[in-house]
Amino acid sequence: MLIDAHGHYTTVPAGLRVFRALQISQMGKPSKRGVSISDDEIRASLEKGQLKLMDERGIEVMLISPMASAMGHHFGSALISRHWTEVNNDLIDRVCRLFPTRFIGVCSLPQSPGVSPRECADELERCVREFGFVGCNLNPDPSGGYWTDPPLGDEWWYPLYEKLQALDVPAMIHASATCNPAFHTVGSHYLNVDSTAFLQLMDSRVFRDFPTLRFILAHGGGNVPYQAARYKALSIIHEWEPFDDFIKHFYWDTTVYSQEAMELLIKVVGVDHIIYASEMLGGVNAIDPVTARSFDENKRLVDAVPWLTGPDRTKIFEENVRKAYPRLVQSRSVRP
Protein backbone atom coordinates (compact mmCIF):
# COMPACT_ATOMS: atom_id res chain seq x y z
CA MET A 1 0.00 0.00 0.00
CA LEU A 2 1.24 3.49 -0.91
CA ILE A 3 0.13 6.22 1.53
CA ASP A 4 0.83 9.88 0.78
CA ALA A 5 1.21 11.56 4.17
CA HIS A 6 1.09 15.18 3.05
CA GLY A 7 -1.73 16.48 0.90
CA HIS A 8 -3.73 19.69 1.14
CA TYR A 9 -7.23 20.33 -0.19
CA THR A 10 -5.92 22.92 -2.65
CA THR A 11 -8.69 22.28 -5.17
CA VAL A 12 -11.52 23.48 -2.93
CA PRO A 13 -14.82 24.50 -4.56
CA ALA A 14 -15.38 28.20 -5.05
CA GLY A 15 -17.86 28.31 -2.17
CA LEU A 16 -15.03 28.18 0.34
CA ARG A 17 -13.26 31.15 -1.27
CA VAL A 18 -16.54 33.05 -1.30
CA PHE A 19 -16.95 32.43 2.43
CA ARG A 20 -13.41 33.72 3.12
CA ALA A 21 -13.90 36.81 0.97
CA LEU A 22 -17.14 37.65 2.81
CA GLN A 23 -15.55 36.92 6.17
CA ILE A 24 -12.79 39.42 5.37
CA SER A 25 -15.11 42.09 3.99
CA GLN A 26 -17.53 41.69 6.94
CA MET A 27 -14.95 41.34 9.68
CA GLY A 28 -16.96 43.50 12.05
CA LYS A 29 -19.69 40.85 12.18
CA PRO A 30 -17.96 37.48 12.53
CA SER A 31 -20.05 34.46 11.56
CA LYS A 32 -19.49 30.83 10.70
CA ARG A 33 -22.58 30.64 8.54
CA GLY A 34 -22.82 30.92 4.80
CA VAL A 35 -20.67 28.11 3.43
CA SER A 36 -22.41 26.81 0.33
CA ILE A 37 -20.72 23.76 -1.13
CA SER A 38 -22.54 20.66 -2.44
CA ASP A 39 -21.31 17.10 -2.22
CA ASP A 40 -21.16 17.03 -6.02
CA GLU A 41 -18.82 20.02 -6.02
CA ILE A 42 -16.54 18.27 -3.51
CA ARG A 43 -16.56 15.08 -5.59
CA ALA A 44 -15.77 16.96 -8.78
CA SER A 45 -12.97 18.98 -7.17
CA LEU A 46 -11.19 15.79 -6.13
CA GLU A 47 -12.02 13.50 -9.04
CA LYS A 48 -10.42 15.96 -11.46
CA GLY A 49 -7.55 16.74 -9.09
CA GLN A 50 -6.04 14.69 -6.29
CA LEU A 51 -7.92 11.42 -6.98
CA LYS A 52 -7.03 11.46 -10.66
CA LEU A 53 -3.34 11.89 -9.85
CA MET A 54 -3.47 9.39 -7.00
CA ASP A 55 -4.88 6.78 -9.39
CA GLU A 56 -2.26 7.56 -12.03
CA ARG A 57 0.54 7.35 -9.49
CA GLY A 58 -0.61 4.34 -7.47
CA ILE A 59 -1.32 6.30 -4.29
CA GLU A 60 -4.09 4.45 -2.46
CA VAL A 61 -4.61 6.74 0.51
CA MET A 62 -3.77 10.37 1.23
CA LEU A 63 -3.64 12.21 4.53
CA ILE A 64 -5.40 15.42 3.61
CA SER A 65 -5.56 18.70 5.48
CA PRO A 66 -6.90 22.17 4.71
CA MET A 67 -4.95 24.40 2.32
CA ALA A 68 -1.85 25.46 4.22
CA SER A 69 -1.15 28.81 2.60
CA ALA A 70 -4.80 29.77 3.11
CA MET A 71 -4.77 29.06 6.87
CA GLY A 72 -3.84 32.75 7.19
CA HIS A 73 -3.52 32.76 10.98
CA HIS A 74 -2.26 36.34 10.84
CA PHE A 75 -5.56 37.59 9.45
CA GLY A 76 -8.14 39.11 11.78
CA SER A 77 -8.88 38.20 15.38
CA ALA A 78 -8.76 34.85 17.17
CA LEU A 79 -12.49 34.46 16.51
CA ILE A 80 -12.03 35.01 12.77
CA SER A 81 -9.26 32.41 12.78
CA ARG A 82 -11.47 29.99 14.75
CA HIS A 83 -14.42 30.31 12.39
CA TRP A 84 -12.24 29.90 9.31
CA THR A 85 -10.41 26.90 10.78
CA GLU A 86 -13.62 25.14 11.82
CA VAL A 87 -15.16 25.68 8.38
CA ASN A 88 -12.05 24.19 6.76
CA ASN A 89 -11.87 21.22 9.10
CA ASP A 90 -15.59 20.54 8.60
CA LEU A 91 -14.95 20.46 4.86
CA ILE A 92 -12.09 17.97 5.27
CA ASP A 93 -14.46 15.77 7.27
CA ARG A 94 -16.93 15.86 4.37
CA VAL A 95 -14.12 14.86 1.98
CA CYS A 96 -13.23 11.89 4.17
CA ARG A 97 -16.90 10.79 4.43
CA LEU A 98 -17.37 11.01 0.67
CA PHE A 99 -14.20 9.01 -0.06
CA PRO A 100 -13.70 6.92 3.07
CA THR A 101 -11.18 4.57 1.47
CA ARG A 102 -9.00 7.28 -0.08
CA PHE A 103 -8.65 10.21 2.33
CA ILE A 104 -7.85 10.48 6.02
CA GLY A 105 -8.22 13.81 7.77
CA VAL A 106 -5.58 16.02 9.35
CA CYS A 107 -6.81 19.28 10.85
CA SER A 108 -5.51 22.80 10.95
CA LEU A 109 -5.59 24.73 14.22
CA PRO A 110 -7.28 28.05 15.08
CA GLN A 111 -4.00 29.80 15.88
CA SER A 112 -3.69 33.56 16.14
CA PRO A 113 -0.61 35.72 16.86
CA GLY A 114 -0.21 36.45 20.55
CA VAL A 115 -3.03 34.06 21.54
CA SER A 116 -2.17 31.07 23.72
CA PRO A 117 -1.98 27.73 21.85
CA ARG A 118 -4.19 26.47 24.71
CA GLU A 119 -7.05 27.90 22.65
CA CYS A 120 -6.38 25.29 19.93
CA ALA A 121 -6.80 22.24 22.15
CA ASP A 122 -10.59 21.99 21.85
CA GLU A 123 -10.60 22.11 18.05
CA LEU A 124 -7.88 19.46 17.92
CA GLU A 125 -9.92 17.23 20.22
CA ARG A 126 -13.12 17.82 18.20
CA CYS A 127 -11.40 16.79 14.96
CA VAL A 128 -9.77 13.70 16.46
CA ARG A 129 -12.72 12.43 18.51
CA GLU A 130 -15.69 13.47 16.36
CA PHE A 131 -14.18 13.19 12.87
CA GLY A 132 -11.51 10.54 13.39
CA PHE A 133 -8.71 12.80 12.18
CA VAL A 134 -5.22 11.46 12.87
CA GLY A 135 -3.08 14.58 13.30
CA CYS A 136 -2.82 18.33 12.87
CA ASN A 137 -0.74 21.01 11.22
CA LEU A 138 1.04 23.37 13.61
CA ASN A 139 2.25 26.79 12.47
CA PRO A 140 5.27 27.99 14.48
CA ASP A 141 4.81 31.55 13.19
CA PRO A 142 1.13 32.60 13.19
CA SER A 143 2.26 36.17 12.43
CA GLY A 144 3.04 35.09 8.86
CA GLY A 145 6.71 36.04 8.64
CA TYR A 146 7.32 38.48 11.49
CA TRP A 147 8.03 35.79 14.08
CA THR A 148 6.38 37.54 16.98
CA ASP A 149 5.36 34.49 19.05
CA PRO A 150 7.62 32.54 21.44
CA PRO A 151 9.73 29.71 20.00
CA LEU A 152 8.40 26.14 20.10
CA GLY A 153 10.64 25.37 23.08
CA ASP A 154 8.79 27.87 25.23
CA GLU A 155 6.18 26.70 27.76
CA TRP A 156 3.78 28.95 25.85
CA TRP A 157 3.16 25.91 23.65
CA TYR A 158 2.86 23.31 26.43
CA PRO A 159 -0.95 23.20 26.76
CA LEU A 160 -1.15 22.16 23.11
CA TYR A 161 1.65 19.61 23.53
CA GLU A 162 -0.25 18.11 26.46
CA LYS A 163 -3.30 17.61 24.27
CA LEU A 164 -1.26 16.17 21.39
CA GLN A 165 0.38 13.68 23.71
CA ALA A 166 -2.90 12.78 25.43
CA LEU A 167 -4.62 12.12 22.09
CA ASP A 168 -1.51 10.36 20.71
CA VAL A 169 -1.52 12.38 17.50
CA PRO A 170 1.48 14.05 15.85
CA ALA A 171 1.74 17.62 14.63
CA MET A 172 3.18 18.40 11.23
CA ILE A 173 5.19 21.63 11.41
CA HIS A 174 3.71 23.72 8.60
CA ALA A 175 3.66 27.45 7.92
CA SER A 176 0.88 29.36 6.24
CA ALA A 177 1.20 32.24 3.78
CA THR A 178 3.59 35.02 4.66
CA CYS A 179 2.36 38.61 4.81
CA ASN A 180 5.96 39.84 5.04
CA PRO A 181 7.35 40.93 1.65
CA ALA A 182 10.76 39.54 2.62
CA PHE A 183 9.52 36.00 2.01
CA HIS A 184 8.03 33.81 -0.70
CA THR A 185 5.33 31.60 0.82
CA VAL A 186 6.06 28.14 -0.58
CA GLY A 187 9.72 28.95 -1.26
CA SER A 188 11.64 30.68 1.49
CA HIS A 189 8.96 30.90 4.19
CA TYR A 190 7.86 27.26 4.33
CA LEU A 191 11.43 26.02 4.32
CA ASN A 192 12.66 28.59 6.85
CA VAL A 193 9.85 27.58 9.16
CA ASP A 194 10.77 23.90 8.93
CA SER A 195 14.42 24.45 9.83
CA THR A 196 13.74 27.16 12.40
CA ALA A 197 11.23 24.96 14.23
CA PHE A 198 13.72 22.08 14.26
CA LEU A 199 16.36 24.29 15.90
CA GLN A 200 13.85 25.81 18.34
CA LEU A 201 13.10 22.29 19.55
CA MET A 202 16.80 21.31 19.68
CA ASP A 203 17.37 24.27 21.97
CA SER A 204 14.65 23.19 24.41
CA ARG A 205 13.58 20.54 26.90
CA VAL A 206 10.32 19.76 25.08
CA PHE A 207 11.07 16.07 24.52
CA ARG A 208 12.17 15.62 28.12
CA ASP A 209 8.85 17.10 29.25
CA PHE A 210 6.80 15.28 26.56
CA PRO A 211 8.65 12.04 25.87
CA THR A 212 6.09 10.58 23.47
CA LEU A 213 5.34 13.78 21.54
CA ARG A 214 6.08 13.45 17.83
CA PHE A 215 6.42 16.01 15.06
CA ILE A 216 6.41 15.58 11.31
CA LEU A 217 8.95 17.69 9.42
CA ALA A 218 7.67 18.47 5.94
CA HIS A 219 9.53 19.49 2.79
CA GLY A 220 12.37 17.11 3.58
CA GLY A 221 13.13 19.08 6.72
CA GLY A 222 13.92 22.41 5.05
CA ASN A 223 17.72 22.52 5.18
CA VAL A 224 18.38 20.04 7.98
CA PRO A 225 19.71 16.99 6.10
CA TYR A 226 21.96 19.22 3.94
CA GLN A 227 23.24 21.19 6.93
CA ALA A 228 23.33 18.17 9.27
CA ALA A 229 27.00 18.64 10.16
CA ARG A 230 26.32 22.24 11.20
CA TYR A 231 23.51 21.04 13.49
CA LYS A 232 25.78 18.31 14.87
CA ALA A 233 28.45 20.89 15.71
CA LEU A 234 25.87 23.12 17.39
CA SER A 235 24.58 20.16 19.42
CA ILE A 236 28.10 19.54 20.69
CA ILE A 237 28.84 23.21 21.40
CA HIS A 238 25.58 23.75 23.28
CA GLU A 239 25.44 20.28 24.87
CA TRP A 240 22.03 19.57 23.39
CA GLU A 241 20.74 16.03 22.79
CA PRO A 242 23.03 14.44 20.18
CA PHE A 243 21.80 15.10 16.66
CA ASP A 244 21.46 11.42 15.73
CA ASP A 245 19.19 10.82 18.73
CA PHE A 246 17.30 14.08 18.44
CA ILE A 247 16.18 13.51 14.86
CA LYS A 248 14.25 10.43 16.00
CA HIS A 249 11.62 12.62 17.70
CA PHE A 250 10.49 13.44 14.16
CA TYR A 251 9.18 11.76 11.08
CA TRP A 252 10.48 13.38 7.93
CA ASP A 253 8.40 13.49 4.79
CA THR A 254 9.81 12.96 1.32
CA THR A 255 8.58 16.18 -0.26
CA VAL A 256 11.87 16.89 -2.01
CA TYR A 257 12.09 16.54 -5.75
CA SER A 258 15.57 15.62 -6.94
CA GLN A 259 17.33 12.28 -6.77
CA GLU A 260 20.30 13.74 -4.88
CA ALA A 261 18.08 15.39 -2.28
CA MET A 262 16.01 12.23 -1.75
CA GLU A 263 19.15 10.15 -1.19
CA LEU A 264 20.65 12.72 1.17
CA LEU A 265 17.41 12.87 3.18
CA ILE A 266 17.07 9.12 3.59
CA LYS A 267 20.77 8.67 4.30
CA VAL A 268 20.89 11.33 7.05
CA VAL A 269 17.57 10.48 8.72
CA GLY A 270 17.55 6.71 8.25
CA VAL A 271 14.76 4.60 6.72
CA ASP A 272 12.89 4.16 10.01
CA HIS A 273 11.84 7.82 10.22
CA ILE A 274 10.98 8.65 6.61
CA ILE A 275 7.36 8.81 5.46
CA TYR A 276 6.35 9.06 1.84
CA ALA A 277 4.62 12.25 0.74
CA SER A 278 4.35 14.24 -2.46
CA GLU A 279 2.72 17.54 -1.32
CA MET A 280 0.39 17.11 -4.27
CA LEU A 281 -1.22 19.46 -5.49
CA GLY A 282 1.05 21.96 -3.90
CA GLY A 283 3.94 24.30 -4.37
CA VAL A 284 5.81 22.44 -7.09
CA ASN A 285 2.93 21.71 -9.44
CA ALA A 286 4.99 22.08 -12.65
CA ILE A 287 6.54 19.87 -15.30
CA ASP A 288 10.27 19.28 -15.10
CA PRO A 289 11.54 19.96 -18.65
CA VAL A 290 14.36 17.44 -18.17
CA THR A 291 12.12 14.48 -17.29
CA ALA A 292 8.86 15.76 -18.84
CA ARG A 293 7.15 14.67 -15.62
CA SER A 294 5.70 16.64 -12.76
CA PHE A 295 8.18 17.52 -10.02
CA ASP A 296 5.81 16.15 -7.38
CA GLU A 297 5.73 12.71 -9.01
CA ASN A 298 8.44 11.71 -6.56
CA LYS A 299 7.77 8.05 -5.74
CA ARG A 300 10.09 7.24 -8.63
CA LEU A 301 12.90 9.00 -6.71
CA VAL A 302 12.43 6.64 -3.77
CA ASP A 303 12.22 3.69 -6.17
CA ALA A 304 15.51 4.75 -7.75
CA VAL A 305 17.60 4.90 -4.57
CA PRO A 306 19.97 2.02 -5.30
CA TRP A 307 20.79 1.07 -1.72
CA LEU A 308 17.18 0.77 -0.45
CA THR A 309 15.82 -2.75 0.03
CA GLY A 310 12.24 -3.85 -0.56
CA PRO A 311 11.49 -3.84 3.18
CA ASP A 312 13.02 -0.33 3.41
CA ARG A 313 10.59 0.93 0.79
CA THR A 314 7.67 -0.74 2.56
CA LYS A 315 8.62 1.20 5.68
CA ILE A 316 8.75 4.49 3.76
CA PHE A 317 5.57 3.92 1.74
CA GLU A 318 3.39 2.44 4.47
CA GLU A 319 4.75 1.19 7.78
CA ASN A 320 6.38 4.34 9.16
CA VAL A 321 3.30 6.45 8.63
CA ARG A 322 1.36 4.01 10.81
CA LYS A 323 3.92 4.59 13.57
CA ALA A 324 3.86 8.35 13.13
CA TYR A 325 0.05 8.45 13.15
CA PRO A 326 -1.08 5.62 15.52
CA ARG A 327 -4.77 6.51 15.02
CA LEU A 328 -4.49 5.38 11.40
CA VAL A 329 -5.19 1.83 12.53
CA GLN A 330 -8.75 2.85 13.43
CA SER A 331 -9.33 4.31 10.01
CA ARG A 332 -11.61 2.62 7.50
CA SER A 333 -9.11 2.91 4.68
CA VAL A 334 -5.88 1.63 6.14
CA ARG A 335 -6.77 -1.06 8.65
CA PRO A 336 -3.89 -3.54 8.46
- Positions that interact with its own copies (CB under 8 A): 140-141, 145-147, 149-151, 180-184, 186-188, 191-192, 195-196, 199-200, 202-203, 219-220, 222-223, 225-234, 236-237, 256-258, 260-261, 264, 267-268, 283-289, 295
Sequence length of the chain is: 336
Distance CA 126, CA 41 (A): 25
Backbone dihedral angles phi then psi of residue 4, each to the nearest 5 degrees: -100, 115
What letter represents residue 21's amino acid?
A
CB of 164 to its own copies, least distance (A): 21
CB of 186 to its own copies, least distance (A): 7
Q: Which is nearer to its own copies, 23 or 178 (CB)?
A: 178
Q: Which is nearer to its own copies, 166 or 286 (CB)?
A: 286
Calculate the alpha carbon distances from 100 to 40, 60, 113, 295, 335 in Å: 16, 11, 35, 28, 12
Q: Which sequence positions are flagged as catalytic? A: 279
CB of 113 to its own copies, least distance (A): 12
Exposed (0-12), middle (13-18) or buried (19+): which is 31, by Cβ within 10 Å?
A: exposed
Q: Which is nearer to its own copies, 105 or 142 (CB)?
A: 142
Distance between first and last Cα of the chain: 10
CB of 47 to its own copies, least distance (A): 24
| β-sheet with 3-9: strand ranges across | 3-9, 61-66, 103-105
Q: Which is nearer to its own copies, 27 or 182 (CB)?
A: 182
CB of 335 to its own copies, least distance (A): 34
Asked whether the beta carbons of 135 and 93 are under 8 A apart, the reply is: no
Q: Which residues make Cβ contacts (< 8 Å) with residue 315, sequence separation at least 6?
A: 271, 272, 274
Q: Which is nearer to its own copies, 181 or 336 (CB)?
A: 181
